[in-house]
Structures are given as C-alpha cells and as structure tokens.
Amino acid sequence: MRPLAGFYANAMPTMKSRLSISSSVLPPTAMPRRARLTLPDVPLHLTQRGHDRHACFFADDDYRFYLYWLERNAARQHCFIHAYVLMTNHVHLVLSAEEAEAPAGLMKAQNQRYVCYVNQRYGRSGTLWNGRFHSCLAQQENYLLICQRYVELNPVRAGMVEHPADYRWSSYRANAQGAKNSLITPHAQYLALGDDFSQRLAAYRELFHGALDPTLIEQIRIATIGNRALGTTRFAADVATILGRQSVPAMRGRPRRTNNSDGLQGTRKKISK
C-alpha cells in the first residue's frame, strides 16, 4: 500500500470534492440520521455493535474469517488499519483512508460478507449488526495513540484478560510486541515514537503502563456515539469549516476565547507501510 498524501491547510478549500457527508433519504415524518464526519487522511475511530448487544463471534474461526476479509476489503477501499479489537459482541477499528467515503464502503462490504458467513455457518437469518457503525474523527497529534490504547485496552476493561497482550483478537501484539500482522499499517504518529523498530515497540508499551483516564474514555465514547470530532477546539473548528456543519455539540452562551492552534494544519505525513 502506498503512503497517503499529506493533508495541507492550503488544500482545505478544494477538499469538498473528496468529502463525504452521507445520509439516507427518509420520509418527511422520520427523524433524519446524523451524517457521519469523514475526511480523507484524517484518522477515524469506529465501532460496530451486534444487534441488541448480542454476540457476533462464536468461535475462533469466526474471528479469523472477519480479519481475513477485513484486510482484503480495507485494501480494496484504500483504508489503512492502525489498530483493532474484535470483542464478543462488537468491533473497534482505528483507521485512515484516502477518500472520505472509503470507511463506509469498507464497513458495507465487510458486514455483508460476515453476515452471509455467519448465517450460512450457523443456520440463522436476519440481521447481525445493530444498524450502522458509529465513528469520530480523531486529531492525530493528540488523540490517535489515545484511541489506539482505548481500543487495545478494551478486553482489559471488560475483565476478559489482565493484560492486552493476553487477548488474541486485537492489534496490541503487533503494535507493542512486533508480532507479524499484515493487516496493520503504522501511522506516522506511531512511527515517531522511536528511531527504530525496537524503540517504537518499547515506547508503545510504555503507553500501557497505566489505565486510561476515565475522562478520556468518556470523551471518546461520547464523540464516537455522537459522530463528533475528537480533538482540540481548533481541530473541531477546522473540521466544521471544511464540512460546513457542526463537529461538536453547540455550546450555550458566549464561546470562550482560546489560543489553541492544534488544528488540521498540523496533519502532514500520515502513514508508512
């Protein structure tokens, strides 16, 4: 997979031809669904849950099948997976994509393939997933590695294992221990952790010595469920400007002044395989 092109501030006015704000056409009486925030080359945390929180994976072969096709569908859609975890009843991914509509294309192909497999294997019918996936744009400088920790620590928070390395169906062993995993494409923020492979692994493991702050966990959950921008005030403002819509909930009263300058302009090199 070739590296993604840089995301530069002077390209922002021309990005709209590559942006995706997709929502289905609903009858006038129906409540419209909130369109997803997606931008080319900007990391995305997404989650897909099982219907009514029921199990989606029932045997080891199910996890293997899902990962096998995730790698292939990601390549077809030019998506780059940085981290993942497959839980019993839901999935988390951290990814980047060359085109804004690519994550939706990836998940459509992936979900269709996996549902057909499960229905055929277990003699069932009907839906498996709880509607469409939820997602949030993540500012790479401040939140990408936090999102990766959030995802790979999921089995620990769920009480399934004591350490993320003990869980087979996540990207932790690849990102922290150097296990071979062709599905994973390191992000530039990950590569910046060290000058060589060993240094990056050690630095990444250091990130997991403590639990994530509960405030950060809640912030990620709210942004993902609400399809919001996860980052600084400047980052959210840049996203809103490009997409022409709110990227965070509207605030009451006069907005506070801020000198935060960490916006999309800081996003340069993205991914190296």
> If you average pLDDT over residues 201-221, what whole number do you get?
95
Question: Quick one: pLDDT at residue 257?
Answer: 47
Residues in the chain: 273
Bridge partners for 234 per DSSP: none
What is the band of 265 on the pLDDT scale with cuts at 50, 70, 90?
A: low
* Better pLDDT: 126 or 253: 126
How far, CA to CA in Å, does 263 sit from each of 124, 141, 271?
A: 47, 9, 18
* Better pLDDT: 270 or 189: 189
Question: Quick one: pLDDT at residue 242?
Answer: 87
> If you average pLDDT over residues 25-42, what whole number do you get?
62
Q: Which of 111, 83, 104, 78 is nearest to 95 (CA)?
A: 83
* Better pLDDT: 61 or 243: 61
204 has a pLDDT exceeding 70: yes
22 has a pLDDT exceeding 50: no
Q: Is the dihedral of CA 48, 51, 53, 54 positive or negative?
A: negative
269 has a pLDDT exceeding 50: no
Mean pLDDT of the chain: 83
Q: pTM of this prediction?
A: 0.80
DSSP E strands: which ranges in the chain? 44-49, 79-86, 90-97, 134-138, 229-230
116 has a pLDDT exceeding 90: yes
CB atoms within 10 A of CB 211: 11
Question: Quick one: pLDDT at residue 248?
Answer: 57
* Better pLDDT: 29 or 66: 66
Q: Which residues contact 202 (CB under 8 A, 6 or more apart)?
A: 194
Q: Cβ-count burial of 42 within 10 angstroms (0-12 exposed, 13-18 middle, 19+ buried)?
A: buried
> If you average pLDDT over residues 15-25, what whole number do you get?
42
Residue 133 has, within 13 A of its CA and on its CB side, a CA count of: 23
Q: Which of 269, 252, 216, 260 is nearest to 235 (CA)?
A: 260
> If you average pLDDT over residues 25-49, what whole number do you get?
72
